[in-house]
């Protein structure tokens, strides 16, 4: 008689029964509506897991490492897992493989890691594969520095990869906004079958603050992926993911299809916050940490009788052009403030289209990698 023993069998995933038990345990006793005091990178991890992400692929890189440290602890409680890969190239492609099954996966990285993933982001956009990504932005170019920055705006919104593609880019400015916007991110990823990329400056990412989490809800499982997922021909005729051109006409059809989708996203998914623009003389435009500082700046300057308003883009792509379409007559000029040398500035100028002067204040790197409230206030005073 042959007795088999000590053969290592890789248990790749918790079986379904165990998984659903774990979900119940997680939602009933461990994960419920609560306020947590976390580093915002950890808040990102919590938020995405509570919204249905079950597989997180990552490679260590500062300041994004906090996300994978956190998911390696919490994902097993949901029947999922954090998978540390050998490089960001492997990370992005494993994420693509995960997405091919219709399962929601995520990744998180910073600067150089994001650059390595660009080829696959183009691939996933072309292949219409949903996922959640985070770029915890740090100073570049090259190896750059580990301090926070917003210098990946171009890379995120223009596409650092090849071809005519876009991904939805979201820029929450606080831990609470990360939590609030995550369900929308999952819905956007599945509704439009696209990667959704969070770009959060490293300052916001490493900040520790409170956030209120609602009860966990698996938004991802609410979407039916059976019409496109590559799950085997058991219930559908052969499907194959082709992002190249088997024939030249297929390449053109793919691009036209993507273009139509991107036009729909531009029309329907612009997001921004607007504060006291209606009668403003000068409008500050800033996202992320500078947008958050802008909220204080407006109330401080208004208290001094200075008519300043704020437009804080939340979706960087699609850029909220609509916020700039009907600016009141009172607005004389605009000031863009960024943790870079002027990247979103281009989009603001395109949105304003020469109707108003658009000024810029920005910096990147150094011990103090962002503009202070005093510097922003002083600059606006010169424009009033």
Partner 1 sequence: MQELAKIYGETLLLDKKFSYCPGCGHGIVTRLVAEAIEAFGIRKRTVSVVGIGCGGFSHHYMEIDAIEAMHGRAPAVAVGYKIAKPENIVYTYQGDGDCSAIGLAELLHTANRGIPVTCFMINNNLFGMTGGQMSPATLEGQVTSTTPKGRDVHQHGYPLRVPEMMADMRGAKYVAREAVYDAKSIRKAASSVRKALDCQMKGLGFSFVEFIVPCPTGLRLSVSDSYKWNKEKMVEYFKPQVFKNEMEQNDEN
- 327 in contact with partner 1 (CB under 8 A): no
Question: From the CB of residue 379, how many other CB atoms can be counted at a distance below 10 Å?
Answer: 17
Rank residues 67 and 335 by Cβ distance to partner 1 and give the closer one: 67
Instruction: Report in angstroms the alpha-carbon separations of 336 from 103, 270, 280.
Output: 39, 18, 15
19 lies in the site for partner 1, by CB under 8 A:
no
In our burial notation (b when 16+ CB lie closer than 10 A, e otherwise), range 61-97 reads bbbbbbbbebbbebbeebbbbbbebeebebbbbbbbe
Indicate the burial class of 135 (C-beta count within 10 angstroms; 0-12, 13-18, 19 or more). buried
- Residue 82, SS3 per DSSP: strand
Give min distance, CB of 33 to partner 1, in A.
28
The secondary structure element, H or E, covering residue 37 is strand 34-39
**With the CA atoms of 201, 192, 129 and 102 taken in that order, what torsion angle do they form, in degrees rounded to the nearest 10?**
110
Answer yes or no: are the C-beta atoms of 134 and 107 closer than 8 Å: yes
Question: Could you tell me how many residues of this chain bind partner 1 (CB under 8 A)?
Answer: 52
Query: Toward partner 1, which CB reaches closer, 232 or 357?
Result: 232
- Shortest distance (Å) from residue 218 CB to partner 1: 15
Nearer to partner 1, 25 or 85 (CB): 85
Residue 227 touching partner 1 (CB under 8 A): no
At closest approach, how far in Å is the CB of 30 from partner 1? Answer: 23
Task: Measure CA 110 to chain center.
Answer: 12
Among 76, 97, 160, 251, interactor with partner 1 by CB under 8 A: 97
| Six token digits for residue 78 | 């949901």
Single out the segment in contact with partner 1 by CB under 8 A; choices: 7-15, 280-288, 327-335, 358-366: 7-15
Binding mask 232-251 for partner 1 (x = CB under 8 A): xxx--xxxxxxxx-x-----
- Is residue 22 a contact point for partner 1 (CB under 8 A)? no
**Structure token pair of residue 349:** 């100028």
Say whether residue 120 binds partner 1 (CB under 8 A). Answer: yes
Query: Which residues have CB under 8 Å from 52's CB, separation 6+?
Result: 104, 186, 217, 218, 219, 220, 221
Using CB under 8 A as the binding rule, whether residue 185 contacts partner 1 is answered as: no
In the DSSP assignment, the letter for residue 141 is S
Q: Which of 24, 87, 250, 256 binds partner 1 (CB under 8 A)?
A: 87
Pick from 85, 146, 373, 383: which binds partner 1 (CB under 8 A)? Answer: 85
Q: What is the dihedral of CA 168, 362, 281, 200, to 10 degrees?
A: 30
Instruction: Select 103 or 343, whichever has its Cβ closest to partner 1.
Output: 103
Region near partner 1 per CB under 8 A, out of 199-207, 226-234, 248-256, 328-336: 226-234
167 binds partner 1 (CB under 8 A): no
**Residue 6 found at the interface with partner 1 (CB under 8 A):** yes
- Give the CA distances from residue 274 to residues 177, 184, 300, in Å, rounded to whole numbers and listed in that order: 15, 19, 16
Compute the radius of gyration of the chain from its Cα atoms. 22
Smallest gap from Cβ 237 to partner 1, in A, equals 8
**Least distance (Å) between residue 4 CB and partner 1:** 6
Rule CB under 8 A: which residues touch partner 1?
1-13, 54-55, 57, 81, 83, 85-87, 89-91, 93-101, 103, 105, 119-120, 123, 230-234, 237-244, 246
């Amino acid at each position: 008689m042959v007795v088999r023993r000590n053969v290592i069998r890789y248990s790749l995933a918790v079986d379904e029964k165990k998984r659903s038990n774990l979900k119940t345990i997680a939602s009933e006793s461990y994960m419920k509506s609560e306020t947590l005091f976390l580093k915002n990178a950890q808040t990102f991890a919590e938020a995405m897991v509570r919204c249905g992400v079950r597989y997180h692929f990552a490679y260590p890189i500062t300041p994004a490492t906090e996300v994978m440290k956190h998911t390696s602890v919490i994902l097993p409680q949901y029947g999922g897992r954090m998978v540390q890969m050998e490089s960001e190239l492997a990370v992005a492609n494993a994420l693509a493989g995960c997405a091919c099954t219709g399962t929601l996966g995520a990744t998180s990285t910073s600067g150089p890691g994001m650059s390595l993933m660009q080829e696959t982001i183009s691939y996933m956009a072309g292949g219409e594969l949903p996922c959640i990504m985070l770029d915890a932005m740090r100073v570049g170019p090259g190896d750059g520095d580990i301090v926070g920055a917003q210098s990946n705006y171009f890379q995120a919104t223009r596409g650092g990869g090849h071809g005519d593609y876009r991904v939805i880019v979201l820029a929450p400015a606080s831990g609470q906004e990360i939590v609030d916007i995550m369900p929308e991110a999952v819905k956007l990823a599945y509704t439009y079958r696209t990667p959704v990329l969070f770009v959060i400056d490293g300052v916001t990412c490493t900040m520790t603050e409170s956030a209120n989490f609602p009860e966990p809800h698996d938004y991802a499982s609410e979407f039916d992926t059976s019409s496109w997922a590559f799950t085997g021909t058991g219930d559908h005729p052969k499907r194959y993911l082709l992002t190249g051109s088997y024939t030249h006409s297929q390449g053109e059809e793919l691009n036209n299809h993507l273009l139509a989708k991107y036009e729909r996203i531009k029309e329907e998914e612009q997001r921004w916050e607007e504060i006291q623009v209606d009668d403003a003389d000068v409008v500050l435009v800033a996202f992320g940490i500078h947008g958050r500082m802008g909220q204080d700046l407006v109330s401080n300057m208004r208290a001094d009788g200075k008519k300043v308003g704020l437009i804080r883009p939340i979706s960087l792509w699609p850029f909220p052009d609509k916020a700039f379409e009907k600016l009141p007559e009172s607005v004389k000029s605009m000031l863009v403030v960024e943790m870079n040398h002027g990247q979103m500035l281009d989009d603001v100028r395109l949105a304003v289209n020469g109707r108003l002067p658009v000024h810029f204040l920005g910096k990147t790197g150094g011990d103090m990698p962002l503009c202070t409230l005093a510097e922003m206030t002083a600059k606006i005073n010169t424009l009033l």
